[in-house]
Amino acid sequence: MTVKNEKKNRAIFLDRDGTVTVEVGYVNDTNRLTLLPRSGRAIKLLNQSPFKAILATNQAGVARGYFSEEMIIKANKWLQTLLQIEGAFLDKIYYCPHHPKVGKKPYRSRCNCRKPLPGMLLKAAEEFNLDLTKCYVIGDKLSDAVLAKNAGARAIIVRSGYGAGELELNNRDSFLKKVFIAEDLMEAVLWIFDQEKINPVTRFFNS
């Protein structure tokens, strides 16, 4: 008996701070977490596309002792609430609370989930049956682009958050020539739709 190959899913992996939300440093209070302009509508477009919308974020503030892991959970729940207000949602949120050199165990750890290592994406690939070679990573740091490379996905860097500074600092990096640069999350999503021949629902970003 021949078993047919199961069709793999696709996802857009999003960084949190500086990509979906305003970059304010370490978020140790939910009042410090707010959406960037248009990011809610961009994720709403993803929700209506064939792609899963998945967050993958480093949160080493836990290892550094700046806040507890419970604070990350609260912040991410608040993020889902903010998105829900705009009719959007994240299919899953993955976070890495570790740091290889600071803090106490178990958070001081040379894990495989701290970006740019691909552990969070590999876990998502298993849980959502993803083909990572057909996925995208959007973030505001070079490490997000390296994460995409390490996972076999395609990379996009946004100029929001630390993006503009990262691009200026690394402007001679030949790797960046293969990375699409977008002004914000919405532009990144629309570029992906163009690459994938997906027609966006224009009323959401023209309103």
Is 7 annotated as contributing to ligand binding? Answer: no
Is 135 annotated as contributing to ligand binding? Answer: no
Query: Which segments within the chain are labelled E, that is strand?
Result: 10-14, 51-58, 92-96, 136-139, 154-158, 180-182
Residues 6+ away with beta carbon under 8 Å from 160: 18, 19, 23, 36, 140, 183, 184, 185
Is 131 annotated as contributing to ligand binding? Answer: no
Is 57 annotated as contributing to ligand binding? Answer: yes
Is 25 annotated as contributing to ligand binding? Answer: yes
Please tell me which residue in 17, 91, 144, 184 is annotated as part of the active site: 17
Please tell me which residue in 15, 91, 144, 184 is annotated as part of the active site: 15
Is 24 annotated as contributing to ligand binding? Answer: yes
Q: How far is CA 59 from CA 15, 20, 25, 118, in A?
A: 11, 15, 11, 15
**Would residue 15 show up in a list of annotated catalytic residues for this protein?**
yes
Structure tokens at 205: 């970003």
**Would residue 29 show up in a list of annotated catalytic residues for this protein?**
no
The binding site for Mg(2+) consists of 15, 17, 140-141
The binding site for Zn(2+) consists of 96, 98, 111, 113
The binding site consists of 15-17, 23-26, 57-60, 96, 98, 111, 113-115, 140-141
Active site residues: 15, 17
